[in-house]
Structure 1
Amino acid sequence: MGNIAGFFTKNNMPSPILNSDTVAKLVGTKKPTLKSNFLAATKTDIVERGPLIIAMNGHLYNPEEFQTEQPSYSDACRILLSIKQFGLETTLRKINGDFCIAIMDKRSNSLTLARDRLGLQSLFYTQVQGVVAFASRARLLLTFPGVSSEFDNKFLKSAAATNYRFLDCEADRSPFQNIKQVPAGHIIQFTNEKMRTSLFSQSIGEIEDSTFQKNQYEEYMFLFSDSIERRLKNAEKTIFTLSGGLDSSAIVSMASRIKAQKQPAISTIHQDKLYDEQHEILDIVNSGIVDWKSISVDEPDIFALLTDIYVSHDYPLPTATWLNHFIISKKASDLGYQTIATGLGGDELHAGEYDYFFYFFADLQTSGKTELLNHEINAWAHNHNHPIFQKSYDIAIEGISNLTDPQNPGRCLPNIALLNRYKDLLSPELGHLDELAPEYHISASSYLTSHSHNELLLNTMPCCIRSSRENCHVSGMQEIHPFLDTRLWDFMMKIPGEAKIQNGVTKAFARKCYKELLPKATRTRIQKAGWNAPAHKWFSSSNREPLLDMISSRRFIERGIYNSKEVARIVDEHFSILSNDICRENHMMIIWQIVSLELWLRALELQ
């Protein structure tokens, strides 16, 4: 598996002349495979049959559903033969896998681009003087003749001053003004006359009855196990990321059961106890199912690490979590592993994030289940109240009002307070953040189900999947995410919220499924730390001086993205909160974004 790229000329326009250096850069390898105007890093990822040429980046996890006369046929070949027999949309809907594909039809002089339903692989395109060029990575397209490196204004604003959940709310946006991304689950077709975009992925459907039978838990466990087993068959030398939470623990535990032996696992640990999960991780380690390696990350040189990372990244890393992930992927590669398995998607699949409660409450309110609503709000407040992030009945009702539309069941509203929290950081020349507020579509009559869908395709998952993929590429690693399986998603999106959240506890359905799989302490743990990093301390200790130097530098100020006085105020306030142990939320997240974006921009300037 590797990058793909290519171009399509409209109306017999002359083909651009690409030198060998440009060809190599388009797919990120010195010796790409070339067929007509298509390029692939790996020979088996590009296939020609008659008038059709296909280039593919990704994996097919259900090859048995794509029968061919030769068992040795590549995934790209199987997909192409299926398209010829059954058509494009039927074939794409049948795929269980992560992929992006490009298809050239010489008969109709057309180019078709498509991307998997969950957005696990990326595909970008641009149009320049009658030529459509595409590549697996946005940055690689900058090497194509005539492609501008001018930044997209909305991208700059979202990366600079909004929560990471707003980075990808426009599914076709890239960092660059003239480069677009193929949205997950979409087909884009170019002909001489026009460009047509269509959605091939199936709708989620409506939730099932809330009365559960034993076989529904059994069906989940079968799909979960099968997802892991299929991905492990395609993987080489796999190591599992392990946090103290439910999701990564369940994946490595199931893999150990499938393989009937201990599985290698790796974690980051911290001296700072706020985000250190070593105690929780030891519940899995002591159960004897993993061979565990830990990496202590306490005073990383953020500026040096990000400078090295951004030599190749298409996007800035959105949170400090992904610096931890980069350190893990590099260490795993040094140890000889080739694949990292993660628990990404588990929160979205099982309704595991804290804000999911509000959408669950809205469903109960809409359905008139007042007694159950009051019980769940009380249990939520009891289980999760926090000195800074307080929980109460009034806060629950306010959350319902702010995040859901009572007139349209299933319609979620953007978190405007979260969007605008740091609006004053931006330079006035960049304008307001209001234009970044997404308009969410209704994907189900359940607010919780619609929100899960939004989180998967627009909010949390896109930047997480991308960061994981780009970090792994730096070290030559592959990654697999067993929870991001289309069959699991189709199944879990039909499970009602009352089965996913019970008695103020998230992931209730998964917890019951894992009764025989996980240690009781892991399965019943209520508090969620999340895989995070103590960047609040990093910026106030060894990285303090580099941070202050950066935000006061002429280069940073003259870039014109930020109101430099407001940046200095936020940084000073962050230091004050920590040094005086003030009980209020610090500014770790936004300071990370400021540093991450600036270092990413500097790396691009060098190239």
Structure 2
Amino acid sequence: MSRIAGFTGHQSLEMTNILSDGLIRGMGVSSIKLHSFGEDNINFVIQGKAQSFYTQNLWVVLDGLIYNSDEFETTQNDAELIGILYLRFGFIGALERLNGDFGIALYDGKTDSLYLGRDRLGVRPLYWTLLDNHLAFASRPLPLAKIHGKSITLNKGFVARFAVCHYRYFDNIPDESPYKEVFQLPSASWLKWNNGKISSGIYWQLEDKPDLEGTIEDLASRYKFLLLDAVNRRLQKVCKPAFTLSGGMDSSSVLACASHNTGQRFDAFSSVYHDKTYDESQDIQVMLSGPVQTWNPIQVDNPDIFQLIQRMVTAHDEPVATATWLSHFLVCEAISKGGYDAVFGGLGGDELNAGEYEYFFFHFADLQGQGYDDNLTTEIKAWAHYHDHPIFRKNSEIALATLSRVVDTKNPGRCLVDPQRFNRYSKALNPDYFDISSFLPIMEHRFSSYLKNRTWQDLSRETAPCCLRAEDRQTKAFGLYNIAPFFDDRLVEFMFRISGNLKIKNGVTKVLLREAMKTILPEETRTRIKKTGWNAPAHLWFSGQGRELLLDRVHSQHFQAKSVFRMEEVLHLISEHEQIVQSGINQENHMMFLWQLLNLDVWMEAIQT
């Protein structure tokens, strides 16, 4: 486990004690060292495996790993490399040269300046706050919230979004945190504190460049090299890795690449279910005779979600975005008992390779905008053929109706907020708590392609931030590194120059990845179209006895005293969810809303106590 924290400013001994004690208590562990540097100008808190480097006038602390250290002169550790690059190129110049997952704090004693930096995709977290004339930072937000006094002030906008919005909108404002006085350093960003003043900016961003030319074989070869290298560089930084494994392309590709690079087989862990709708055990079998040394299926069916959510919220410092992460939490717990130090997974593969179902619509919009009407008709028919669902139907009428909601056809590349998704549960929020209509989600529009804009929206403001945060919190809770090779910035830059026709074709997603993984993945896995992923039968968790426990909670005095929800609407949704589940009818239920409600209430109760 690696975490960093610190504070700066010319403070009294009393203020130093307040800040250091608050940060140490907030980190919640005993294996912490407090280092003072200079004339009480800077103090660093270092936990566990966090790396540090210092000279007479320079101190660096690092939460994370640098993967291209071999490109520079030999150093004792990654923190020393950062210090050397800073002295040679400055802080921004150093960040621009790093390939890694990191939160960095660097103090220059000569200029009395503190710098903070975060990796390009936000794999590692970093937060900061101001108290009087002092800046404090930490890898987690709660320690920073605690140093402001006994009463922690929540960010009402975040609470409201978590209460009634789809999880994609939780991170639409990248510099916010769940706590009013604590700010998140956005991905690919830097911050400088000097003489009581803050300056900040970004050091990396994607540009709208022409798609790469070449045959699919040539481009797949380049993709294969980058993915193999991304996996290999990460393998070299850990001692005993474990791999999460589903039946899909992403986690399977990461594991297969690791085996291809090393000639070794690795231990894999999967969540499995008795309900075959969610269970991928059969799909996983083909991997067991190849790159898997020992397969560890973790049974998840009807867990004690109330007890588990308590534990998860403690690990997260905030409510947990989706029920997906309960299964992941149990998998991480199992991995931690085997002496492993890192967890490799396929997070990011869906975004880079257009693997999410909704990416079809934005590919359709690109085809429509380019005048490829015949291709559009063919793709819609193939989409409906492969992906029709009893609840989520697929046909031409639905495709065109969805396009009218989610893209601006008069403004090439501009994606829109889906009003059906955004407003679905807005009536459940108490308007006296927060006016959710005042929240207007920001939609990225830096590319001429709808698909690329939608993908960047997911990477920067929607799916990736909350998933990366959850993966980081849960692996660290069990003393593990989280490793996500698809978030290698070289892969990201490459895939944003790949045409949509090489991501989605004939109703099949991840076209270029499938081509790149020839001879590496088993053919059954490489050519599989069905997608399940990290889903779980969470609708059952809020039915029957789960419903009764949830009703007890929402009828309690402490729940109603928070005044976040409109009780009549909450009770209606709980009742309707039960009717849908018990009837077995093909109708969308309210599992996601109920998961968010329970998580939010558990978190708010924990903060208040």
TM-score w.r.t. length of structure 1: 0.95
d(CA) in 1 for partners of 2:167, 2:49 = 37
d(CA) in 2 for partners of 1:247, 1:29 = 34
Deviations 1:413-471 (Å, cap 9, x if unpaired)? 22222111101111121234333332223232111111111111110011111111111
Deviations 1:568-599 (Å, cap 9, x if unpaired)? 11011111011112221011111111111111
Residue in 2 aligned with 1:299?
Answer: 302
d(CA) in 2 for partners of 1:602, 1:431 = 19
Residue in 1 aligned with 2:78?
Answer: 75
Deviations 1:302-334 (Å, cap 9, x if unpaired)? 011112333332221111110101100001111
Further displaced range: 554-563 or 167-176: 554-563
Contact 1:111 1:189 in 2 (8 A): yes
d(CA) in 1 for partners of 2:29, 2:598 = 30
Deviation at 1:496, TM superposition (A): 0.7
SS of 1:295's partner is: strand
Residue in 1 aligned with 2:24?
Answer: 24
Instruction: Go from structure 1 to structure 2 and tell me whether the alpha carbon gap of 1:581 and 1:338 turns closer, same or farther (over 3 Å shift).
Output: same
Contact 2:156 2:434 in 1 (8 A): no
Residue in 1 aligned with 2:573?
Answer: 570
d(CA) in 1 for partners of 2:410, 2:186 = 29
Matched, 1:143 2:146: yes
Contact 1:125 1:135 in 2 (8 A): yes
Further displaced range: 339-348 or 364-373: 364-373
Contact 2:266 2:291 in 1 (8 A): no
Contact 1:44 1:76 in 2 (8 A): no
Q: CA RMSD in A?
A: 2.0
SS of 2:236's partner is: helix
Deviations 1:264-311 (Å, cap 9, x if unpaired)? 001111112221111211222244644211111111000111123333
d(CA) in 2 for partners of 1:428, 1:18 = 41
Further displaced range: 517-526 or 47-56: 47-56
Contact 1:207 1:493 in 2 (8 A): no
d(CA) in 1 for partners of 2:514, 2:440 = 34
Residue in 2 aligned with 1:49?
Answer: 55
Residue in 2 aligned with 1:461?
Answer: 464
Contact 2:256 2:291 in 1 (8 A): no
Letter in 2 for 1:34: H
Instruction: Go from structure 1 to structure 2 and tell me whether the alpha carbon gap of 1:128 and 1:232 turns closer, same or farther (over 3 Å shift).
Output: same
Contact 2:58 2:108 in 1 (8 A): yes
Contact 2:24 2:45 in 1 (8 A): no
Residue in 2 aligned with 1:59?
Answer: 65
Instruction: Go from structure 1 to structure 2 and tell me whether the alpha carbon gap of 1:207 and 1:506 turns closer, same or farther (over 3 Å shift).
Output: farther
Deviation at 1:409, TM superposition (A): 2.4
Letter in 2 for 1:17: T
Residue in 1 aligned with 2:35?
Answer: 34
d(CA) in 1 for partners of 2:212, 2:233 = 30
1:112-127 equivalences under 5 Å are: 112-127=115-130
Letter in 2 for 1:328: V
Residue in 2 aligned with 1:277?
Answer: 280
d(CA) in 2 for partners of 1:139, 1:432 = 25
Deviations 1:176-227 (Å, cap 9, x if unpaired)? 0111000000112223353222110132442414642533211111111111
Contact 1:210 1:496 in 2 (8 A): no
d(CA) in 1 for partners of 2:513, 2:291 = 22
- Pick from 476, 495, 514 the counterpart of residue 473 of structure 1: 476
d(CA) in 1 for partners of 2:500, 2:484 = 23
d(CA) in 1 for partners of 2:451, 2:213 = 14
Deviation at 1:13, TM superposition (A): 5.7
Deviation at 1:49, TM superposition (A): 3.3
Residue in 1 aligned with 2:411?
Answer: 408
TM-score w.r.t. length of structure 2: 0.94
Letter in 1 for 2:313: Y
Contact 2:22 2:143 in 1 (8 A): no
d(CA) in 1 for partners of 2:383, 2:51 = 49
Deviations 1:145-176 (Å, cap 9, x if unpaired)? 54861110111011111111111010011000
Which segments of 5 or more consecutive residues in structure 2 lack a partner in the other structure?
38-42
Number of equivalenced pairs:
601
SS of 1:197's partner is: strand
Letter in 2 for 1:52: L
d(CA) in 1 for partners of 2:291, 2:470 = 31
Residue in 2 aligned with 1:206?
Answer: 209
d(CA) in 1 for partners of 2:425, 2:567 = 13
Instruction: Go from structure 1 to structure 2 and tell me whether the alpha carbon gap of 1:483 and 1:288 turns closer, same or farther (over 3 Å shift).
Output: closer
Further displaced range: 485-494 or 201-210: 201-210
Contact 1:413 1:439 in 2 (8 A): no
User: Identity over the aligned pairs, expressed in percent?
Assistant: 38
SS of 1:316's partner is: coil
Further displaced range: 84-93 or 24-33: 24-33
SS of 1:3's partner is: strand
Instruction: Go from structure 1 to structure 2 and tell me whether the alpha carbon gap of 1:271 and 1:385 turns closer, same or farther (over 3 Å shift).
Output: same
d(CA) in 1 for partners of 2:48, 2:582 = 53
Deviation at 1:603, TM superposition (A): 2.2
Contact 2:145 2:179 in 1 (8 A): no
Contact 2:23 2:143 in 1 (8 A): no
1:418-497 equivalences under 5 Å are: 418-497=421-500
Matched, 1:349 2:352: yes
d(CA) in 1 for partners of 2:49, 2:170 = 34
Matched, 1:586 2:589: yes
Matched, 1:358 2:361: yes
Matched, 1:314 2:313: no
d(CA) in 2 for partners of 1:214, 1:581 = 46
Instruction: Go from structure 1 to structure 2 and tell me whether the alpha carbon gap of 1:527 and 1:399 turns closer, same or farther (over 3 Å shift).
Output: same
d(CA) in 1 for partners of 2:574, 2:191 = 44
d(CA) in 2 for partners of 1:296, 1:406 = 46
Which segments of 5 or more consecutive residues in structure 1 lack a partner in the other structure?
none
Instruction: Go from structure 1 to structure 2 and tell me whether the alpha carbon gap of 1:105 and 1:97 turns closer, same or farther (over 3 Å shift).
Output: same
SS of 1:202's partner is: coil
Matched, 1:223 2:226: yes
Instruction: Go from structure 1 to structure 2 and tell me whether the alpha carbon gap of 1:48 and 1:564 turns closer, same or farther (over 3 Å shift).
Output: same
Deviation at 1:542, TM superposition (A): 4.2
Residue in 1 aligned with 2:335?
Answer: 332
Contact 1:128 1:147 in 2 (8 A): no
d(CA) in 1 for partners of 2:145, 2:193 = 20
d(CA) in 2 for partners of 1:545, 1:290 = 43
Contact 2:2 2:476 in 1 (8 A): no
SS of 2:298's partner is: strand
Instruction: Go from structure 1 to structure 2 and tell me whether the alpha carbon gap of 1:44 and 1:581 turns closer, same or farther (over 3 Å shift).
Output: closer
- Pick from 153, 166, 174 the counterpart of residue 177 of structure 2: 174
Instruction: Go from structure 1 to structure 2 and tell me whether the alpha carbon gap of 1:332 and 1:193 turns closer, same or farther (over 3 Å shift).
Output: closer
Further displaced range: 348-357 or 201-210: 201-210
Further displaced range: 521-530 or 343-352: 521-530
d(CA) in 2 for partners of 1:29, 1:569 = 42
Contact 1:125 1:133 in 2 (8 A): yes
Letter in 1 for 2:408: D
Further displaced range: 381-390 or 24-33: 24-33
Deviation at 1:529, TM superposition (A): 1.6
Letter in 2 for 1:438: P
d(CA) in 1 for partners of 2:23, 2:397 = 59
Matched, 1:599 2:602: yes
Deviation at 1:43, TM superposition (A): 8.1
Letter in 2 for 1:589: M
d(CA) in 2 for partners of 1:94, 1:434 = 42
Residue in 2 aligned with 1:4?
Answer: 4
Further displaced range: 78-87 or 26-35: 26-35
Deviation at 1:520, TM superposition (A): 2.1
Contact 1:27 1:40 in 2 (8 A): no
d(CA) in 2 for partners of 1:120, 1:395 = 36
